[in-house]
A = this chain, B = another copy of it.
Amino acid sequence: MRAAARAGREVWGATASTADADAAAGDGFRVESTVDAALAAAAERDALVVLAVPLPEVDGVLREVAEHAPQCLLTDVVSVKTAVAEAVARRVPDARFVGGHPMAGTAESGWTAGSAELFEGAAWVLATEEDTDPVAWREAAGLALDCGAKVVPTTAGEHDAAVARISHLPHILAAVLAATGADGGPLALSLAAGSFGDGTRVAGTRAELVLAMCDGNRSALLTAVDDALGRLGAARGALASTGGLAATVRAGNDGRAALDFLRDGPRDELRIDLTAPDAFDQLRELGASGGRVLRLDGDTAIAEQPE
| A residues adjacent to B (C-beta < 8 A) | 103, 123, 125, 152, 154, 158-159, 161-163, 165-167, 169-204, 207, 210-211, 214-215, 218, 221-222, 224-229, 231-233, 235-236, 239-240, 243, 245-246, 248-260, 262, 287-292, 306
For A257, the chain B residues whose CB sits under 8 A away are 204
Q: Across the interface, do A260 and B204 meet the contact criterion of CB distance under 8 Å?
A: yes
- Are A200 and B255 touching (Cβ within 8 A)? yes
Cβ–Cβ contact B165 & A188, under 8 A: yes
Residues of chain B within 8 A (CB-CB) of A235 are 172, 175-176, 225
Which listed residue, B181, B198, B229, B290, touches A186 by the CB 8 Å rule? B290
Does B186 contact A232, Cβ atoms closer than 8 Å? no
Among candidates B162, B183, B193, B199, residue contacting A227 with C-beta atoms closer than 8 Å: B183
Q: Is there contact, CB below 8 Å, between A202 and B207?
A: no
Q: How far is the CB of A223 from chain B (nearest CB, A)?
A: 10
Across the interface, A228 reaches (CB within 8 A) one of B166, B180, B222, B256, namely B180
Evaluate contact between A259 and B171: CB separation under 8 angstroms.
no
Instruction: Determine whether the beta carbon of B189 is less than 8 Å from that of A252.
Output: no
State how many copies of this chain the complex holds.
2
The residues of B that contact A226 with a CB separation of less than 8 Å are: 236
- Minimum CB distance partner of A101 in chain B: B191
The residues of B that contact A195 with a CB separation of less than 8 Å are 166-167, 170-171, 174, 201-202
Other-chain contact of A252, B190, B200, B289 (Cβ < 8 Å): B200
Residues of B within 8 A of A221 (CB): 239
Complex Cα gap A136–B180 (Å): 34
A133 to B115, CA, bound (A): 62
A298 CB to nearest B CB, Å: 26
A167 to chain B, nearest CB (A): 6
Minimum Cβ distance to chain B for residue A287 (Å)? 6
List residues of chain B with CB within 8 A of the CB of A183.
165, 227
- Minimum distance in angstroms from A194 CB to a CB of chain B: 7
Q: Determine if A249 and B193 form an interchain contact, defined as CB atoms under 8 angstroms apart.
A: no
Chain B residues with CB under 8 A of A174: 195, 199, 252, 256
The interface residues of chain B lying within 8 Å CB-to-CB of A249 are: 171-172, 175, 207, 210-211, 214
Q: Once the chains are docked, how many angstroms separate the CA of A200 from the CA of B175? A: 14
How far does the alpha carbon of A203 sit from the alpha carbon of B255 in the complex, in Å?
A: 8
Closest chain B residue, CB of each to CB of A231: B176
* CA A269 to CA B171, docked complex, whole Å: 36
A246: B residues at CB distance < 8 A: 207, 211
Residues from chain B with Cβ under 8 Å of A252 in the complex = 171, 174-179, 200, 203
